[in-house]
């Protein structure tokens, strides 16, 4: 089967999950490598690694995760950390082109991370958050994105290495926020050609029942709006089924062949 047109970043190796935190602490390579392999096989182009639960040891654990994961799968990683030292240590051992996940449009965080991205010519994720607030409105998100991309390209980062994240918020607590992020995507596309737009919809369903349904539906809508990279668990079959369906509906699956083969393979639910 052809790979999906949507670029998927696998989020499972995150230290906020108890089993991952434990595996990191015990240096359980087998478990981490298994988590990496299943995501890669299920269609993740990138694997995200996070050791943020360990404030003190992150600088030691993050490079360990990089080495461990890349010993098992041949994929570039997203280095999920707010700590520049940990990111630097991870970049030192990373093979291929990593992506720094993430910065906000705040001087302090830009000053710490941007030189690392330039030095290692890797990718970087920028959230549409500035030092003043976390805007909900689409226009404001786009404005921050434009300023941030300007600063990043001025520093020497290529546009195709920039991933703008317009920040998905939980609709259960901020009912207007869902549609604003969706509205921000085409605005950002039009204002800043050549960059990537990434969303993670795991949070959209926070505090609501049947979370996978909301996540899958939101991702499909974000794809229609122009998102090209998604932070999602490719091992979640119901979410993946929606992604495959959305690609067929959006004309990104020639003759719907991928949709049909996914059906034959039983990936779209019961035949």
Partner 1 sequence: MADLKELASALMRGDAPAVEKLTKQAVDAGIGPKEILDGGLIAGMQVVGERFKNNEIYVPEVLIAARAMHAGMKTLEPLLVKAGVKPVGTIAMGTVRGDLHDIGKNLVSMMMRGNGFKVIDLGIDVTPQKFVEAAKDQGANLIGMSALLTTTMPSMKATIDELQRAGLLGKVKVLIGGAPVTQRYASEIGADGYAPDAASAVDKAKELIGL
Q: Which residues bind ligand B12 (CB under 6 A)?
A: 16, 52-53, 82, 102, 104, 127, 129, 134, 167, 169-170, 173, 203, 206
Binding at 209: pick from ligand B12, partner 1, none (beta carbon under 5-8 Å per type): partner 1
Q: Which of 170, 224, 226, 260 binds partner 1 (CB under 8 A)?
A: 170
Q: Tell me the site size for partner 1, rule CB under 8 A.
A: 15
Binding at 172: pick from ligand B12, partner 1, none (beta carbon under 5-8 Å per type): partner 1
Question: Which CB, 201 or 239, lies closer to ligand B12?
Answer: 201
SS (H, E, C) the chain: CCCCCCEEEEEEEECCCHHHHHHHHCCCHHHHHHHHHHHHHCCCCEEEEECCCCCCCHHHHHHHHHHHHHHHCCCCEEEECCCHHHHHHHHHHCCCCCEEEEEEECHHHHHHHHHHHHHCCCEEEEEEEECCCCCCCHHHHHHHHHHHHHHHHHCCCCHHHEEEECCCCCCCCCCCHHHHHHHHHHHHHHHCCCCEEEEECCCCCCCCCCHHHHHHHHHHHHHHHCCCEEECCCCCHHHHHHHHHHHHHCCCCHHHHHHHHHHHCCECECC
Binding at 133: pick from ligand B12, partner 1, none (beta carbon under 5-8 Å per type): partner 1
Min dist CB 166 to partner 1, Å, is: 16
Q: Which of 82, 93, 213, 256 binds partner 1 (CB under 8 A)?
A: 82
Binding at 167: pick from partner 1, ligand B12, none (beta carbon under 5-8 Å per type): ligand B12
Site for partner 1 in 35-64 (CB under 8 A): 52-53, 55
Min dist CB 145 to ligand B12, Å, is: 15
Question: Which CB, 206 or 263, lies closer to ligand B12?
Answer: 206
């Amino acid at each position: 089967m052809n790979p999906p047109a949507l670029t998927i970043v696998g989020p499972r190796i995150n230290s906020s999950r108890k089993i991952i935190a434990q595996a990191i602490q015990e240096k359980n390579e087998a478990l981490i490598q298994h988590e990496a392999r299943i995501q890669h096989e299920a269609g993740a182009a990138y694997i995200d690694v996070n050791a943020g639960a360990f404030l003190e040891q992150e600088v030691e654990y993050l490079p360990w995760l990089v080495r461990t994961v890349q010993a098992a799968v041949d994929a570039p990683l997203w280095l999920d950390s707010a700590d520049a030292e940990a990111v630097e240590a991870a970049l030192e051992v990373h093979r291929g082109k990593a992506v720094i996940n993430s910065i906000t449009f705040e001087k302090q965080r830009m000053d710490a991370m941007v030189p690392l991205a330039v030095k290692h010519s890797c990718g970087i994720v920028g959230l549409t958050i500035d030092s003043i607030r976390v805007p909900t409105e689409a226009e404001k998100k786009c404005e921050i994105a434009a300023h941030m991309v300007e600063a990043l390209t001025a520093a020497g980062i290529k546009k195709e290495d920039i991933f703008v994240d317009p920040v998905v918020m939980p609709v259960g607590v901020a009912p207007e926020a869902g549609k604003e992020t969706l509205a921000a995507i085409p605005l950002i596309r039009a204002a800043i050609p050549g960059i990537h737009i990434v969303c993670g919809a795991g949070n959209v369903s926070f505090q609501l029942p049947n979370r996978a349904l909301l996540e899958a539906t939101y991702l499909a809508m974000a794809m229609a709006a122009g998102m090209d990279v998604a932070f999602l668990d490719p091992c979640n079959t119901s979410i993946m089924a929606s992604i495959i369906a959305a690609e067929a509906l959006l004309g990104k699956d020639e003759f719907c062949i991928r949709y049909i083969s996914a059906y034959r393979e039983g990936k779209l639910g019961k035949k």
